[in-house]
Amino acid sequence: MRNTVSALMMVAALCAPHASRAQDACPDRSAYAPAREIIGDLGRIVAPTGVQDAYAVDIGGIRQWVNVRGQDRDNPMVLFVHGGPASPVIPTLWQFQRPLEEYFTVVNYDQRGAGKTLTLNPQEAVADTLHVQRYVDDAIALAEYLRTRYHKRKLVLMAHSWGTVVAMHAALQRPDLFHAYVGIGQVINVRTNEQVSFDYGLRTARARGNAEAVREMESIAPYPGDTPITRERIIIARKWPQFYGGLTAYRDESMYYFQGPRLSPDYDDAARCAINAGSVFTLGRLLDEFLQVDFTGVEEFPIPVVMFMGRHDYTTPSEPTAAWLAKVRAPYKQGVWFERSAHMIPWEEPGRTLVSLLEHVRPLAVDDGPAPH
């Protein structure tokens, strides 16, 4: 049960979490160095048309860490907004992203308070800026920067879990920047998500005769109900749905993800420790705003929208996403179900992720005008 009490699961598990031991000394992971060298060499982009950049850029008054990879810089560019908050994708992108780089130039960045970005800025300079709209402004500013630097008229905007809150707002506020929006583990209404997740956990625990789980979950029922959604209630509500595969299908452990950063050629030990530290730093400051998130009133979406939905996702349940998608009006809309996935779709079904992007998204990403200079 170690993973079920991680910092992110404690606060609504907005994305795949990391076990929270942020107060511990940063461990020495030098023993993994030989493996990192192999992974780094395998992922090294050698094509003369390719791009492999990693740098810090000034966005929103702070330095934010950016990673750009692709085999052909003329391919459509994807801006990926990671989950969490403060669960950066860069340290585990080596697990799934390489095939995508044949068809897209993929941009990942560590959001404010996350990963390498956390290490680049004094926490006291960032703490008071941790608001949803500031994250949205960051994503918009980065999109504008990328368009200019890489000569792209528009980008594909893709997001996971918590990142879908940021990216949905960005698409609604600046649709001119994006060819399309792809939501993975989409957040539509937080209170609805909480109820669907809780009901699944309690139903499954009863069916399997798990007296401990039933006792814990019944202690906070009805959930969320009219009682405030506190950190303590969320800990209990999220623990058992994810134990029963609501985070990663058919698993109650996710070592591949939690320990994956140890093998990352892109992160040093300080950055790896910053993953956990970022969770502690950001979650409490963003929780109240996150609990108010509700996109059910969005009846018209200004750009093509594609939703990747895990059939077994009870972290950000897919049912509300499917219901919203069925009603929304958009230039193009498509829902794709991933039958062997829960919340971690790119990691759980990377092949279907690629095929779905090629089938439903890449045809939308056709430039029809000059790039900004």
Give the pLDDT score at 370. 55
Q: Is residue 76 part of a domain?
A: yes
As a whole number of angstroms, the distance between CA 139 and CA 124 comes to 21
Give the pLDDT score at 235. 87
Q: Is residue 193 part of a domain?
A: yes
Give the pLDDT score at 355. 98
Q: Which domain holds residue 206?
A: 2-17+36-362
Q: Is residue 372 part of a domain?
A: no
Give the pLDDT score at 19. 39
As a whole number of angstroms, the distance between CA 268 and CA 261 comes to 9
State the CATH number of the domain containing residue 297.
3.40.50.1820
Q: Is residue 300 part of a domain?
A: yes
Give the pLDDT score at 346. 98
- Residue 80: name the closest of 293, 296, 361 by CA: 361
Q: Pinpoint the alpha helices (H) of the chain.
A: 7-10, 33-43, 115-120, 123-126, 132-150, 162-173, 190-207, 211-218, 231-241, 255-258, 269-290, 318-327, 345-348, 350-360
214-221 long-range Cβ contacts below 8 angstroms, 24+ apart: 216/240
Give the pLDDT score at 22. 38
Q: Is residue 241 part of a domain?
A: yes
Residue entry with tokens 């850029």: 57
Mark the ranges of the chain whose per-residue pLDDT is less than 70. 1-24, 367-373
How many domains, the chain? 1
Give the per-residue SS3 of 29-51. CHHHHHHHHHHHHHHCCCCCCCE
- Residue 241: name the closest of 6, 7, 9, 21 by CA: 9
Give the pLDDT score at 4. 32
Q: Which residues make Cβ contacts (< 8 Å) with residue 240, sequence separation at least 6?
A: 4, 201, 202, 204, 205, 210, 213, 216, 217
Give the pLDDT score at 6. 37
Beta pairing class for 155-160 and 51-59: unpaired
pTM: 0.92
The angle subtended at Cα 229 by Cα 235 and Cα 310, nearest 5°, is 65
Residues 277-316 pLDDT 10s: 999 999 889 999 999 999 999 999 999 999 999 999 999 9
Furthest C-alpha separation in the chain: 63
Q: Is residue 22 part of a domain?
A: no
